[in-house]
Chain A
Amino acid sequence: GAVVSQHPSRVICKSGTSVKIECRSLDFQATTMFWYRQFPKQSLMLMATSNEGSKATYEQGVEKDKFLINHASLTLSTLTVTSAHPEDSSFYICSARGPGRGNGYTFGSGTRLTVV
């Protein structure tokens, strides 16, 4: 079945630094990937839709200059949290859309970001 690898699974960084999270589709090409954020005991919040070779589409309220998304190939999308602050600490999840609707989107295992 389709697999999406998300790396790293956990990261701790200092305030003011940047962190990059990678999302790879391992056995299929994903023209569209999605980035979500989940706060404790809350639902998934869609941050942006990433399309290969074009600019990401950000949801309302999400700062595109803070959360940089790059989808340079059909199997890789990256999310960079720039100048991280403690309030950026959260669980970030990516998903990828495969060629058909079949099983919907395949999700990565998530990245726990802690900014200290």
Chain B
Amino acid sequence: DQQVKQNSPSLSVQEGRISILNCDYTNSMFDYFLWYKKYPAEGPTFLISISSIKDKNEDGRFTVFLNKSAKHLSLHIVPSQPGDSAVYFCAASAPGQNFVFGPGTRLSVLP
């Protein structure tokens, strides 16, 4: 049973527009969430996090929104740039537990 889902395997966006990547989870004990970015042939790198005590966290062009009642989080990238083309993973954890990763969404930003 997948506890963290990213239902869109891929997404294409025009350069300069907003990219919205979605993530849903089923475990109500999850209270800390992360987004990672991964380029081909490299390991994932941390992008942004959010704790369940917040509903929004912003870092430059990246904003993560958390809707606890819907068990949904999203990553907004604005404006999108070609260098943002990568696979994005969301991850969630409950206190004292390992992180559970979603399957990833491949973002392509078209020039």
Hey, which bits of chain A sit against chain B, CB under 8 A?
4, 6, 32, 34, 41, 43-44, 46, 49, 91, 93, 95, 97, 101-110, 112
Contact = CB atoms under 8 A, between A and B. Distances in A.
Interface string B29-42: 00010101000011
Contact of A95 (B32, B43, B102): B43
A93 B103 CA distance: 15
Contact of B99 (A41, A93, A104, A110): A104
A44 B101 contact: yes
Interface string B41-59: 1111110010000000000
A4 B43 CA distance: 10
Interface residues of B, number: 20
B93 interface: yes
B81 to A, nearest CB: 22
Interface of B: 32, 34, 36, 41-46, 49, 89, 91, 93, 98-99, 101-104, 106
B44 A107 contact: yes
Q: Is the interface of B mostly helix, strand, loop or mixed?
A: strand
Contact of A104 (B36, B41, B42, B103): B36
Contacts of B93: 101, 104
Q: Is the interface of A mostly helix, strand, loop or mixed?
A: strand
Contacts of B98: 32, 34, 49, 97
Contacts of A106: 46
A35 to B, nearest CB: 12
Contacts of B91: 104-105
27 contacts: A32-B98, A41-B106, A43-B89, A43-B104, A44-B44, A44-B89, A44-B101, A44-B104, A49-B98, A91-B41, A97-B98, A101-B93, A102-B49, A103-B34, A103-B49, A104-B34, A104-B36, A104-B46, A104-B93, A105-B91, A106-B46, A107-B36, A108-B43, A109-B42, A109-B43, A110-B41, A110-B43
